[in-house]
Each structure stands twice: as structure tokens, then as C-alpha cells.
């Protein structure tokens, strides 16, 4: 397998630098990749079952690459064995192609990253015509399509285009977008808008529907419940937290859009709490994400109630992170004598 990096996503300045200096987040992640985890244990299940199932989709393991951090999947073909992942979610797709925001649109923060890419994408039609045929040629992969829009009709039209394409396992609905019909408030922060958009998409969809919740709400449990009642087959959370950074010298915002989405290890404890709250509020499966960079992080999300997980920002620092974490996860199960990983979902021990 070639090692040529062909990321379509923007590299952070620190990744481009030739000097071996590690930035704060790289150091954090490096210390958390336990090399001891790669040694074999004399005890426990030698061949643990990592498979998970949600919305009637069988995954060989719970590790899914998150939308917006893994291109359309195909760009990672030379870097990651795509068939070793549970699956991957492609960049958010809209009815028409979108150019996204002007730079700067990425900024590194303490143990995290700000982004305001602006949902740049090639559009649903081009995805079907140009990317899906290449993905279909690959064996044993699970492709999830992330979808967004600015009106209910946008979402519906995008889903109708994607319904025509073969080789998509499910849709993941990004509801962290301004609803231009209702004063620009995000679909995902208003229970009524969320209900309406999920019902609309569910009617149009010929595939399982995962609703990806926004964390920028007062009650994640309420939004999770609204999504379930409106017909979601599963929920995923969290999307990024609205945040910002300022350059004190220039007095300018670090991101051209002024505000941006915060992701990476900095958000993990909050994301974990939200997954826990959401999982208690619904009966449908929960896919957890937010700052995952190690196998132990995955175990924590599963104990909190997640059936599967997504990994986003970690792929920016190490494009092979998703695949490495699958290996680490298997080894963790061997060392902890866990024969069936799925048995950990919701198994948090509370006295
Ligand atoms: C650069 C970038 C682009 C993203 N684009 C999308 C997107 O198109 N659709 C979406 O639902 N989430 C998008 N996200 C959010 C991630 O999928 C994920 O929910 C979030 O980053 C939290 O996970 P992490 O901390 O592992 O990155 C994006 C995140 C980043 C960092």
C-alpha cells in the first residue's frame, strides 16, 4: 500500500512544516497511542468479536471515519485499508456543489481544532457520477452519505438524488445548518424544525436514516427524543461546538467566518456526557463521537451507550488513525478478556 498522502482536506500548517516539532495536539495523541497495546497477551479472547449492528447495518467493527475529515473515502484508499474500518461517512453533500468559506478556515487550539470549511462539496449528483463508481469497485466497505441543506426541500431533493445511487448503506443527516425558512436558526437546535426535517427526509429516503445531532443545545436528551419520534433509525452525536479564536495582536478573528466549529480531544468529555444523556433518552442506537483518538476513548463512548463511534479530527494529525485504532481496539479486548465488544454498549457501572 502506497504512503502517498492525497488528502483533499486542508492540512493544518503544522502538518505541512518539515521540521519534526510536534504541536500540542500531536503530542497529546502520540502519548495516548500505547505501543504496549500492540504486544500480545497470554490471556483472554484471542480473537474478539468486534462486530456491531445498528439500523440493520452490520459493521465488522465500530470504527467509522467521520464526515468532513475523510474526503469521499476514495482519497484515503492509498493511506488506509478502507476494508478494515467499520465504515466511513463521506463529506456532507448538498443538492448543488458548494465552494465553502474563504480561508483561513482551520485553526489549531489547545487539544482541538476550529473549522469553518462552510460545507464545501461537489454536490450529490457529482458524488453519484464520479465517486460512487470508484467506491463500488472496492470490496467489503461500508459507505455512509452525510447530507445537509438550508430548507427541507433541499434535504429532500438531495436524498432523492442519492436514492438513485447504489452502494450507500445509510444516510447521516447533518442538522447543524441554518434553516433559511425559519429565520436562520439551525434545524438541530429547534425541536420543531428538527421534527419537520427528519419526517420529510424519512418519507423521501429509501435507506436507513441516522440523524446527526448538534451539541449546541440546552437539552440533548430532548433533541435525541425528537429525532427518534420523527423516524430516525439511529442518532449520531456530536457535531462540532460553536466556538471562536482571536489574534490579540491583530485584533482579528482567527477564522474568516469569525465563529467556527470546535472538535478534537478538547471536546471529548462534553461529547461523552452528551452521548450518555442521549442514549438514556432513546431506544434507537447511538453513534458517539467527539475527540476520539484511542481505543480506550471508544470503550468509554460504548460504556456511555454508543453502539458505534466516529473518528474525525484524529485523521488530521495522523491520516492512518482510524485503522490504527481498530488494531488497538482488538488488542484492548484481548487484554481485557472481552470476547464480544458489543456487550460493552451501555455497560457503565454506576453504584
Ligand atoms: C474539517 C471538518 C469538517 C467537517 N465537516 C462535516 C460535515 O461535512 N458534515 C458533518 O456532519 N460533520 C462535519 N464535521 C464534524 C465531524 O464529522 C465530527 O462530528 C466532529 O469533528 C467531532 O468529532 P472529532 O472530534 O472526532 O473530530 C467536520 C469536522 C471537521 C473537523
Residue in this structure with the C-alpha cell 505501543, named with its chain if needed: 35
Q: How many CB atoms lie within 10 A of CB 16?
A: 8
CA-closest candidate to residue 336, choices 308, 303, 288, 311: 303
Residues annotated as part of the active site: 177
Distance 68 CA to ligand 1 centre (A): 5
For residue 174, the ligand 1 atom closest to its alpha carbon is 11
* pLDDT given for residue 10 in this prediction: 53
pLDDT in tens, 8-61: 345 443 333 333 344 555 555 455 444 333 334 444 578 999 999 999 999 999
| Rounded-to-integer distance, Cα 292 and Cα 265, Å | 6
For residue 112, the ligand 1 atom closest to its alpha carbon is 25
Ligand 1 pocket check: which of 101, 312, 314, 321 to mutate, most ligand atoms within 8 Å of Cβ? 312
| Rounded-to-integer distance, Cα 167 and Cα 245, Å | 40
pTM of this prediction?
0.90
Stretches where the chain sits below pLDDT 50 are: 1-9, 11-22, 29, 32-43
pLDDT in tens, 58-83: 999 999 999 999 999 999 999 999 99
| Rounded-to-integer distance, Cα 197 and Cα 201, Å | 6
Distance 213 CA to ligand 1 centre (A): 12
Q: Which residues does 350 contact at the CB level (< 8 Å), separation at least 6? A: none
Amino acid at each position: 500500500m502506497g504512503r502517498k498522502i492525497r488528502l483533499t482536506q486542508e492540512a493544518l500548517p503544522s502538518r505541512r512544516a518539515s521540521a519534526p516539532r510536534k504541536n500540542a495536539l500531536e503530542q497529546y495523541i502520540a502519548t495516548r497511542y500505547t505501543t504496549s497495546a500492540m504486544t500480545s497477551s497470554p490471556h483472554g479472547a484471542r480473537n474478539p468479536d468486534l462486530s456491531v449492528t445498528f439500523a440493520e447495518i452490520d459493521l465488522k467493527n465500530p470504527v467509522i471515519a467521520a464526515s468532513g475529515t475523510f474526503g469521499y473515502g476514495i482519497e484515503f484508499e492509498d493511506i488506509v485499508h478502507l476494508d478494515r474500518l467499520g465504515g466511513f461517512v463521506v463529506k456532507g453533500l448538498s443538492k448543488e456543489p458548494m465552494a465553502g468559506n474563504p480561508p483561513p478556515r482551520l485553526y489549531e487550539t489547545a487539544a482541538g481544532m476550529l473549522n469553518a470549511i462552510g460545507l464545501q462539496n461537489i454536490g450529490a449528483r457529482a458524488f453519484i457520477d464520479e465517486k460512487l463508481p470508484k467506491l463500488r469497485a472496492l470490496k467489503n466497505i461500508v459507505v455512509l452519505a452525510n447530507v445537509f441543506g438550508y430548507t427541507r426541500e433541499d434535504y429532500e431533493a438531495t436524498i432523492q438524488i442519492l436514492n438513485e445511487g447504489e452502494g450507500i448503506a445509510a444516510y447521516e443527516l447533518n442538522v447543524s445548518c441554518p434553516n433559511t425558512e425559519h429565520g436562520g436558526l439551525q434545524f438541530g437546535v429547534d425541536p420543531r424544525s428538527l421534527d419537520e426535517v427528519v419526517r420529510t427526509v424519512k418519507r423521501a429516503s429509501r435507506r436507513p436514516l441516522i440523524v446527526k445531532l448538534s451539541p449546541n443545545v440546552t437539552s440533548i436528551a430532548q433533541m435525541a427524543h425528537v429525532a427518534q419520534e420523527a423516524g430516525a433509525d439511529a442518532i449520531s452525536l456530536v457535531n462540532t461546538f460553536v466556538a471562536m479564536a482571536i489574534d490579540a495582536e491583530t485584533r482579528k478573528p482567527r477564522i474568516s467566518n469569525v465563529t467556527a466549529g470546535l472538535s478534537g480531544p478538547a471536546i471529548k468529555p462534553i461529547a461523552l456526557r452528551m452521548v450518555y444523556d442521549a442514549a438514556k433518552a432513546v431506544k434507537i442506537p447511538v453513534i458517539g463521537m467527539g475527540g476520539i483518538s484511542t481505543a480506550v476513548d471508544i470503550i468509554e463512548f460504548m460504556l456511555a451507550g454508543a453502539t458505534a463511534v466516529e473518528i474525525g479530527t484524529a485523521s488530521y494529525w495522523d491520516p492512518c488513525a482510524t485503522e490504527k485504532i481498530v488494531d488497538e481496539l482488538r488488542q484492548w479486548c484481548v487484554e481485557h478478556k472481552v470476547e464480544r465488544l458489543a456487550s460493552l454498549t451501555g455497560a457503565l457501572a454506576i453504584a
